[in-house]
């Protein structure tokens, strides 16, 4: 059914290059690059960033400036394929590392690359196939009702074709600077990765990591969200840790095996955080995810009802280029094949009842995610709450049917992983199709592009996870995998009842207090759950964003351009650090990493860390400020 009042940028009767070799190859490269970078970022801090706009500006820079081609639909195809990698990585890293954590404890066999790839592939393809029938209902019929903020912003970036070259340079400069800094810190090890100051009278410490990706995350999130995360960190490290030691120095408290005072003497404040604060933070994060889901429940139910109602109505078939979609027979056959694969493939530990749960939860959350992205954008889509609710419900069902122990835990994580990836991919597909609708792209070609990007990203994500785990290990200081650790703890708690529930419930009631105060729960809870050094560095990035907003003179358009420049530079920093992180993981697996370290001959110490931090702050600030006047006159 057409929206007669809307005219796309490229009319339906005009044919333009779209699904070309150039766009597919460049899109695949970006899907793998941003997928790997987002996997690395998510495993470090439990957060991922959208790759749609960075992929769009890179595609415009390459296609328009380097290749001298004038094809906006070709550039749109690049970002469609490229953004699939970031979304699939986000769904995978929130859950799948739990399997590696159990394997490191000797409780299950180490998951193979094939298992990770198949789980990611099934979830990714199902997310796209579940969303395709909803396109007409959500994007065409509700064009004026659902704003799709990020999809619309991506279309605006692509429409500003003549500015694509300078924007792409901003992204690449951020990548280069971040790659160099990451290599100096973690490769050559001539600059420390963190700086800290101890507060002996409180028996705690204040620390900050010196990494470009975290500063970039803080800038993209903005000062408000960054301050919420820092507040959670301060609550944990400057309230709870001192209180635990003040009132319980001579107490043995589970899961600790010695007095709290002895534990502090042996491992410092970090030991207390790892044994106690992490569980309090886990309770807060779980409660925050469920609270966000509960608050969204009326919208979720109405969304599902309206989508199904629109889907069941009679649809007018159109042969116009801008209305051609994948054949419904292909959709149904594809869904059936994926469900059979989930049930029968031995590398995916899911029973028939588990496959049925994938169908029910998967289609429900795909529908919800597709519409929620249209309302609030993918950044505010409560995927973590959906994953937590799914894991709790599936674990209870599997345990009730006798599928307990670590086989049942594997099944619950596998089901949760597939559904989490389904929700992420359905939201990404919905957002990309909205961008294409505004520009006048061919839906069927975009849907094929999504499938191509998903397949390539799934083939890469298994190797990336395996590589990162082999180099540092999930749950380590380098890769804390906070979301996956939380999922693992929840599944174990339901199956075995061995969680320190007193600490978990302290976190739950902290989340309730935060909700009563009308403060966003999840960023505070994540700050409480993560090491303080991460939240501190993220806050520095948020302060740079605040400084840019306050110090930019000129019109409102100039201010928006400055902020946009900083976001592009920050996206480049995140990608650059992620790529060097993957490179260093390869070197670690090959046992080459120690040969390039220069720490024995040159170690700049805390002064070097402070200088590097100031350099990154200055580089980010200048990237945001320096192009405003130039771009205003283009």
**Total Cβ atoms within 10 A of residue 505:** 14
Least Cα distance to 303 among 389, 359, 374 occurs for: 374
What is the rounded average pLDDT for all residues in the chain? 82
Share of residues in the chain with pLDDT > 90 (%): 21
- Nearest CA to 568 among 236, 184, 178? 178
* 204-229 tens-digit pLDDT: 999 888 888 889 888 887 899 889 98
pLDDT at 479: 83
Per-residue pLDDT tens for 375-418? 655 655 657 667 777 787 788 888 888 877 888 888 889 988 99
Angle between helix 72-93 and 113-131 (nearest 10): 130
Q: Give the residue with greater pLDDT, 181 vs 628.
A: 181
- Alpha-carbon span 476 to 278, nearest angstrom: 14
pLDDT at residue 632, rounded to an integer: 41
Distance CA 198, CA 607 (A): 16
Between 599 and 73, whose confidence is greater?
Answer: 73
- pLDDT tens across 185-198, in order? 888 888 888 888 88
For residues 468-472, give the mean pLDDT.
86
Distance CA 540, CA 216 (A): 9
- Residue 175 is predicted with a pLDDT of 84
Q: What's the rounded Cα separation, in Å, for the pair 52 and 150?
A: 8
Grouping H, G, I as helix, E, B as strand and the rest as coil, residue 40 is helix
> CA 436: distance to chain centroid?
23
Q: What is the pLDDT of residue 628?
A: 45
The CA distance from 460 to 532, in Å, is: 31
pLDDT at position 252 over 70:
yes
The angle, 0 to 180 degrees and rounded to 10, between the axes of the packed helices 113-131 and 405-439 is 40
Q: If pLDDT is split at 50, 70 and 90, which confidence band does 312 have? A: low
Q: Lowest-pLDDT range, 357-361, 585-589, 623-627? A: 623-627
Record the pTM: 0.73
Predicted local confidence at residue 629, as pLDDT: 45
Q: What is the pLDDT of residues 317-373, one digit of tens each?
A: 456 888 888 887 888 899 999 989 998 888 788 888 888 888 888 888 887 778 767
């Amino acid at each position: 059914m057409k929206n007669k009042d809307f005219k796309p940028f490229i009319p339906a009767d005009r044919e333009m290059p779209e699904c070309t070799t150039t766009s597919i190859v460049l899109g695949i490269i970006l899907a793998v690059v941003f997928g790997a970078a987002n996997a690395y970022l998510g495993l470090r801090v439990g957060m991922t960033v959208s790759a749609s706009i960075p992929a769009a500006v890179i595609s415009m820079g390459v296609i328009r400036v380097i290749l001298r081609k004038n094809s906006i639909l070709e550039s749109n195809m690049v970002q469609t394929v490229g953004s699939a990698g970031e979304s699939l990585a986000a769904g995978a890293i929130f859950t799948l590392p739990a399997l590696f954590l159990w394997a490191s404890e000797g409780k299950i066999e180490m998951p193979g690359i094939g298992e990770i790839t198949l789980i990611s592939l099934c979830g990714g393809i199902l997310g796209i196939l579940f969303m395709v029938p909803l396109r007409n209902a959500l994007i065409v019929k509700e064009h004026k009702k659902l704003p799709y903020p990020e999809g619309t912003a991506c279309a605006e970036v692509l429409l500003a074709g003549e500015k694509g070259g300078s924007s792409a340079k901003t992204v690449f400069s951020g990548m280069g600077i971040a790659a160099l800094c990451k290599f100096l810190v973690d490769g050559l090890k001539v600059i420390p990765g963190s700086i800290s100051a101890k507060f002996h009278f409180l028996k705690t410490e204040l620390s900050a990591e010196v990494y470009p990706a975290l500063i970039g995350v803080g800038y993209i999130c903005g000062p408000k969200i960054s301050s919420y995360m820092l507040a959670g960190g301060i609550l944990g490290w400057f309230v709870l840790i001192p209180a635990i030691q003040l009132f319980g120095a001579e107490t043995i408290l589970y899961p600790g095996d010695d007095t709290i005072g002895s534990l502090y003497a042996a491992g410092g404040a970090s030991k207390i955080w790892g044994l106690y604060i992490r569980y309090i933070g886990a309770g807060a994060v779980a409660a925050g995810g469920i609270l966000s889901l509960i608050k969204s429940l009326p919208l979720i139910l109405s969304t599902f009802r309206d989508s199904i109602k629109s889907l069941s109505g009679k649809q007018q078939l159109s042969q116009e280029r801008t209305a051609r979609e994948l054949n419904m027979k292909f959709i149904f056959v594809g869904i059936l094949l994926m469900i059979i694969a989930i049930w029968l493939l031995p590398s995916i530990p899911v029973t028939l009842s588990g496959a049925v749960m994938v169908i029910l939860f998967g289609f429900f959350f795909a529908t919800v995610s597709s519409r929620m992205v249209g309302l609030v954008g993918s950044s505010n889509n409560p995927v973590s709450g959906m994953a937590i609710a799914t894991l709790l419900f599936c674990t209870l069902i599997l345990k009730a049917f006798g599928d307990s122990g670590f086989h049942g835990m594997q099944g619950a994580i596998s089901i949760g992983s597939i559904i989490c990836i389904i929700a992420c991919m359905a939201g990404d597909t919905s957002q990309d199709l909205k961008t294409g609708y505004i520009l006048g792209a061919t839906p069927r070609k975009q849907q094929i592009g999504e499938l191509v990007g998903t397949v390539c990203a799934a083939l890469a994500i298994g190797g990336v996870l395996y590589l990162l785990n082999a180099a540092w290990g999930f749950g380590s200081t380098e890769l804390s995998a906070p979301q996956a650790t939380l999922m693992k703890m929840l599944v174990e708690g339901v199956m075995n009842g061995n969680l320190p529930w007193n600490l978990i419930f302290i976190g739950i009631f902290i989340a309730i207090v935060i909700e009563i105060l009308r403060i966003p729960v999840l960023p505070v809870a994540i700050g409480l759950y993560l090491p303080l050094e991460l939240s501190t560095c993220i806050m520095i990035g948020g302060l740079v964003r605040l400084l840019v907003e306050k110090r930019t003179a000129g019109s409102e358009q100039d201010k928006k351009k400055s902020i946009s420049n900083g976001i592009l530079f920050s996206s480049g920093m995140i990608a650059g650090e992620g790529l060097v992180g993957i490179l260093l993981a390869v070197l670690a697996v090959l046992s080459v990493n120690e040969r390039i370290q220069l720490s024995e001959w040159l170690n700049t110490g805390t002064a070097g860390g402070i200088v590097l931090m100031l350099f990154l702050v200055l580089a980010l600030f200048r990237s945001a400020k320096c192009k405003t006047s130039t771009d205003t006159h283009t």
